[in-house]
Structure 1
Amino acid sequence: MRMVVVGDVMLDVDLSGEATRLSPDAPVPVVDVSGVRRRAGGAGLVARMLAEEGWPVTLVTVLGDDDAGRQLQDNLAGVRLVAGPSGYPSPVKTRVRAGSHAVVRFDQGCEKTPVPEVSPAMLQTVEEAGVIIVADYGRGVAANPRLRELLSRQAGQVPIIWDPHPSGPKPVPGVAVVTPNLSEAVKAAQALAHKAPQGGSGDQDQAAEAGRILLEHWGSQSVLVTKGEQGAVLLRNGNPVPHPVPAPRVEAGDPCGAGDRLAAGLAVHLLAGRDLEEAAALAVQDAADFLAAGGVSALPDRATGVADQESSTTSLNESRLRLAAERPYAGRRPTEPLLLARTVRKNGGTVVATGGCFDLLHAGHVRSLSAARELGDCLIVCLNSDDSVRRLKGPERPIIGQHDRAELLLAMECVDAVLVFDEDTPEAALERLRPDIWVKGGDYKGARLPEADLVESWGGRCLTVPYHPARSTTGLADALAKVS
């Protein structure tokens, strides 16, 4: 079944560099630009995320007939594009960053424009969708009356995820789930109820109260109010009790794209037949993993030439999928662990996982990881977080923080992705990852692995690889202590 993303697109431009001095003309930093990246934003970003996972996805939108519009088409290679003319310049948002800090953003062509027309091809594509994501960025596509009438009819037949925008129209009634963030939900609820949602104390109560108001006025089946690092709150029609959806802790400098990743995840999980609560929980995890893996900056660049015909983009996507089936990792590969596992599994490959603290990498680690990688088509390391290591090994550990440990692991050719988990044991991480093979060092030889029952419950296997007892992190730490 084809996924269809409907909404507004824009060209996002990232200028990155370092700021080491102030301008002599004014007290502002001078950024020495060392990198320029262009990518499709808005609904285009949602479609790109799905396409990178190998899902057949169609983007229904409007494009400007200008250089920015042509760059957008370049960056949407691999996505089937059904687009009408916008009649206006393509919106461009340029962000300037100095190191990890945002300095300024320039918006061009982002002023409000009349509602665009939709073509018969655009409507037919929406009508044939198996799941629909409406990624509204306030530019008018979601306000088109003919499109809204069709979406209203589709709402009772296929899952529709509606990501609203403060400047856009309200969702059509009956959609499966609407996904405002907390500030959007509070603002919309205040406009509808003519008072600010109070709730009890804290964001959780305010999100729940705003969600109830929106659920009543929008007529959707559910509202999922997202709260960034605090997770989300799910409100369902006919059930007044809010359902909290926790999020794992993620240290990410740029949250850009998290909402888009959540909407994409919801579509995937609802299409797979999961119920809404499970789909919401998995989508929140997907968004957190996306940010932990580097967010939009980790998405591969696209420089494949203009893809202005449906046939060319479709054939390009199909050829990529054929190549992936023959050689799962020819060229660039995803490093976000859940996306990687899904891609490998979809192409008939074997997902291998192992776990540990990996504090002070040594030759024994390298040998064990290399042996584990030989067992399948990718190796994902489940890495204990700093808090998890402290609980297991005492307040003096870890010696190296989780982000540096993950970076060192990813620098190894045999490691394809790292999944950081906060619990004392890897069971929760394994439940999300569901590897085909779970590997531990040979010090477990002769004993049944603690995770064996869980891994075998989905048909996986547990194996051991050679263990090198003369090499250990504790031994290294003791040796370092003697020379420090």
Structure 2
Amino acid sequence: MRPGPLVVVGDTLLDVDVEGEADRLCPDAPVPVVAGARENSRPGGAGLAALLAASAGAEVVLITAAGDDESGRRLRELLSGRVEVVRLPLSGGTPTKTRIRARGQTLLRLDTGEGRAVTGPDGHRPRGAASRLSGSAPYVPGARGSGSELRRAIAAIRGAGAILASDYGLGTVEVMRGVLAEATAPLVWDPHPRGRAPLPGCALVTPSEAEARLLCAGSYGSPDQAARRLLHDLDVEAVAITLGARGAVLARRGERLLEIAPPFPVSGADPCGAGDRFAGAAALALGGGAGAEEAVRHAVEAATRFVGDGGAAAVRLSASGPRERFPLEEGGRPAAGADGERFLPPELGDRPRTPLELAEAVRAAGGRLVATGGCFDLLHAGHVSLLRRARALGDALIVCVNSDDSVRGLKGPGRPVVNEEDRVEVLRALECVDGVAVFDESTPVSLIERLRPDVWVKGGDYAESDLPEAETVRRAGGEVVILPLVPGRSTTDLIAAARAAL
């Protein structure tokens, strides 16, 4: 498995669904009247691919062009706290697609905004030699330095575990093409009619059947023939042509052709966004060390489940996040311990709602509560990566922190290095953390019984049976998700390095 996030490079659109009831025709024209309209916005294009990958628990960086108009600001709000966005400049309005829908069917689509990604601030796009542009520093999620967004983009690609190029022809992939050509991580290319041909050497190209017809330039015979031809013509490692409800056909160098059927039938559902889910799932699998066949089988299953759950139209996001939906009262800032509410001084924070109150508010609003736990002594990039991925699994994240006494009991008399109050304060400062609770026992079982999270996240290579809290989570109707840690990042290593430097 390669360390590093999934980096999605591509064009992001704002998708708006206006949904209502259509029970009559307009008296002055033979068109339906849509009444009681409700509006739902979500990222589209590369933004949707990034969002869906993050919702599966992946750490995701999105490199995209975004404007400063209302649609661009809305996009950034929707993505905030879910994926790391590296924003390139956009010339023109943010592309927006508005669908008028009734009874699950699209009646009309309005397209506005023809903005395109532009070259770097010096007027030139990066042309390889990425190391000269970005220096030797690795990409650190959430970091903000003095370098330009272009430098951040290059550093992200260099540090990627896998890369997805989602090319809608609006310039983002073109701006980064030279850097993508030098990438060492597995590169999945999701082509679209207005985009350029994929780079030679891609690990996987994922056109739909309609896109494969265009790539074959009028000589399309069948999906099988097209997959073999594109494998040769594009000079890539594998081609998977997606076939909707029929699954996908996979061609690989030196291997027999495979037809991969979906795990279960899905009929009558809106397939919008299925290609984005497919490409993202395949990229994550390749980054995790899977071969092309395993990656495509995983992607077919992920896309099928996505469509079965309602597709892109079922994606519901809150731009403001739970902090604004659940306004806070004045007063001190508490952290809930297993022995009751534990109030910390008000000067240490500005979010006084208790974690238990936050949990109840999330449930009352129909949200999905995520919780995780640990000592979080000497917070490092591995911790931040885990917390960001955990937050992407729901609508609010509560971090359960071992008290000083609990840490000493688990780690020994020399720990914690950072005291309880400071550890809580640092965690609360993170954008991805909505609440912090402190417990005194060796495990957070008692606290979990009170919080009742929908998702309990643990970082590491545990089996679920190894976690004493797993049964408590399941008994309350929740699920346990185990996320991989970032290799080479640990508090123990930090302490050892500090001692060696003395």
TM-score class, shorter-chain normalisation, is: 0.5 to 0.7
Match of 2:315 in 1: 299
Give the alignment of 1:75-224 within 5 angstroms.
Answer: 75-77=78-80, 78-110=82-114, 113=116, 116-117=119-120, 119-144=150-175, 147-154=176-183, 157-190=184-217, 195-198=218-221, 206-224=222-240
Give the alignment of 1:55-454 within 5 angstroms.
Answer: 55-77=58-80, 78-110=82-114, 113=116, 116-117=119-120, 119-144=150-175, 147-154=176-183, 157-190=184-217, 195-198=218-221, 206-239=222-255, 241-247=256-262, 248-304=264-320, 317=388, 320=391, 323=397, 326=400, 350=464, 375=471, 377-378=473-474, 414=477
Secondary structure of the corresponding residue to residue 293 of structure 2: helix
In structure 1, the gaps of 5 or more residues are 199-205, 306-310, 334-339, 352-373, 380-412, 418-432, 435-484
Deviations 1:194-253 (A, max 9, x none): x4222xxxxxxx0111112211121111100000000100011233x3111111211342
Alignment length, in residue pairs?
335
Secondary structure of the corresponding residue to residue 397 of structure 2: helix
> What TM-score, normalized by structure 2, do the two folds share?
0.60
Structure 1 segments (4+ residues) deviating >4 Å: 113-116, 313-316, 324-333, 343-351, 413-417
Could you tell me which amino acid in structure 2 is paired with residue 42 of structure 1?
G
The 8 Å contact of residues 350 and 378 in structure 1, kept in 2 or not, is answered as no
CA RMSD of aligned residues (A): 3.4
Work out the CA distance in 1 between the residues paired with 2:399 and 2:56. 13
The 8 Å contact of residues 23 and 29 in structure 1, kept in 2 or not, is answered as yes
The 8 Å contact of residues 59 and 82 in structure 1, kept in 2 or not, is answered as yes
Deviations 1:66-102 (A, max 9, x none): 0100000011022111111112110000011111111
The 8 Å contact of residues 115 and 139 in structure 1, kept in 2 or not, is answered as no
Match of 1:19 in 2: 22
Change (3 A) 1:330 1:134: farther
Work out the CA distance in 1 between the residues paired with 2:117 and 2:11. 13
In structure 2, the gaps of 5 or more residues are 126-149, 322-380, 401-447, 483-502
Work out the CA distance in 2 between the residues paired with 1:46 and 1:114. 18
The 8 Å contact of residues 61 and 141 in structure 1, kept in 2 or not, is answered as yes
Match of 1:395 in 2: none
Q: CA deviation at 1:29?
A: 0.1
Work out the CA distance in 1 between the residues paired with 2:283 and 2:160. 12
> What TM-score, normalized by structure 1, do the two folds share?
0.63
The 8 Å contact of residues 234 and 242 in structure 1, kept in 2 or not, is answered as yes
Change (3 A) 1:316 1:105: farther
Work out the CA distance in 2 between the residues paired with 1:250 and 1:17. 24
Q: CA deviation at 1:27?
A: 0.6
Identity %: 36
Which among 40, 48, 51 is matched to residue 51 of structure 2? Answer: 48
Q: Does 1:6 align with 2:13?
A: no
Work out the CA distance in 2 between the residues paired with 1:251 and 1:125. 39
Change (3 A) 1:97 1:62: same
The 8 Å contact of residues 80 and 314 in structure 1, kept in 2 or not, is answered as no
Deviations 1:151-204 (A, max 9, x none): 1121xx2111110011101111111000000111012112xxxx4222xxxxxx
Work out the CA distance in 2 between the residues paired with 1:168 and 1:234. 22
Secondary structure of the corresponding residue to residue 377 of structure 1: helix
Q: CA deviation at 1:264?
A: 1.3
The 8 Å contact of residues 69 and 90 in structure 1, kept in 2 or not, is answered as yes
The 8 Å contact of residues 42 and 315 in structure 2, kept in 1 or not, is answered as no
Work out the CA distance in 1 between the residues paired with 2:232 and 2:225. 11
Work out the CA distance in 2 between the residues paired with 1:346 and 1:242. 38
The 8 Å contact of residues 15 and 33 in structure 1, kept in 2 or not, is answered as no
Work out the CA distance in 1 between the residues paired with 2:36 and 2:451. 31
Could you tell me which amino acid in structure 1 is paired with residue 152 of structure 2?
A
Q: Which structure carries more helix by proportion?
A: 1
The 8 Å contact of residues 3 and 57 in structure 1, kept in 2 or not, is answered as yes
The 8 Å contact of residues 252 and 292 in structure 1, kept in 2 or not, is answered as no
Change (3 A) 1:74 1:96: same
Work out the CA distance in 2 between the residues paired with 1:37 and 1:215. 39
